[in-house]
């Protein structure tokens, strides 16, 4: 019962640019709460990829960028590489009783 909606899958050729959308509502993204993104490689735990909408933790390549507008957010991957093949999740804070921290449904990126 994820509160944030993402497309199930996106794909692109090496070197291309792909974007992943994350749609929320007025109780989370639309309430001006920041959006964060995680990358989950096969068989591993999620790893923080983007925090506070568009900030990259140390070590995350500049090919990854985030943006937010209204009740939605997006993750862009430019110069797609085979090692980017993974599941990606958005996450935000929600003021409803569904839970304080909510995650997206997840998007499988295929290169």
Partner 1 sequence: QVQLQESGPGLVKPSETLSLTCVVSGTSISNYYWSWIRQSAGKGLEWIGRIYISGSTTHNPSLRSRVTMSLDMSKKQFSLKLSSVTAADTAVYYCARGPFYDRSGWGHYFGPWGQGIPVSVS
Pairing mode of beta strands 72-77, 18-23: antiparallel
Q: What gap in Å lies between CA 102 and CA 64, rounded to an integer?
A: 21
**By C-alpha distance, which of 92, 58, 59 is closest to 75?**
92
Indicate whether 47 belongs to the interface with partner 1 (CB under 8 A).
yes
Residues within window 67-86 making contact with partner 1, judged by CB under 8 A: none
Question: Computed over its alpha carbons, how large is the radius of gyration of the chain?
Answer: 13
Q: How many residues make contact with partner 1 (CB under 8 A)?
A: 27
**By C-alpha distance, which of 107, 102, 105, 106 is closest to 30?**
102
Indicate whether 102 belongs to the interface with partner 1 (CB under 8 A).
yes
Among 18, 36, 72, 73, binds partner 1 (CB under 8 A): 36
Instruction: Pick between residue 12 and residue 46 the one whose CB is nearest to partner 1.
Output: 46
Q: What residue ranges bind partner 1 (CB under 8 A)?
A: 1-2, 33-34, 36, 44-48, 51-52, 57, 89, 91-93, 97-106
């Amino acid at each position: 019962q994820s509160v944030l909606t993402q497309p199930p899958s996106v794909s692109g050729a090496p070197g291309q640019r792909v974007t992943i959308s994350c749609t929320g509502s007025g109780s989370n993204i639309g309430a001006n709460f920041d959006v964060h993104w995680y990358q989950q490689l096969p068989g591993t735990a999620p790893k923080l990829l983007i925090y506070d909408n568009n900030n990259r933790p140390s070590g995350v390549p500049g090919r990854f960028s985030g943006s937010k507008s209204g009740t939605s957010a997006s993750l862009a991957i430019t110069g797609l590489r085979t090692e980017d093949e993974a599941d990606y999740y958005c996450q935000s804070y929600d003021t409803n009783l569904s839970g304080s921290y909510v995650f997206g449904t997840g998007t499988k990126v295929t290169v």
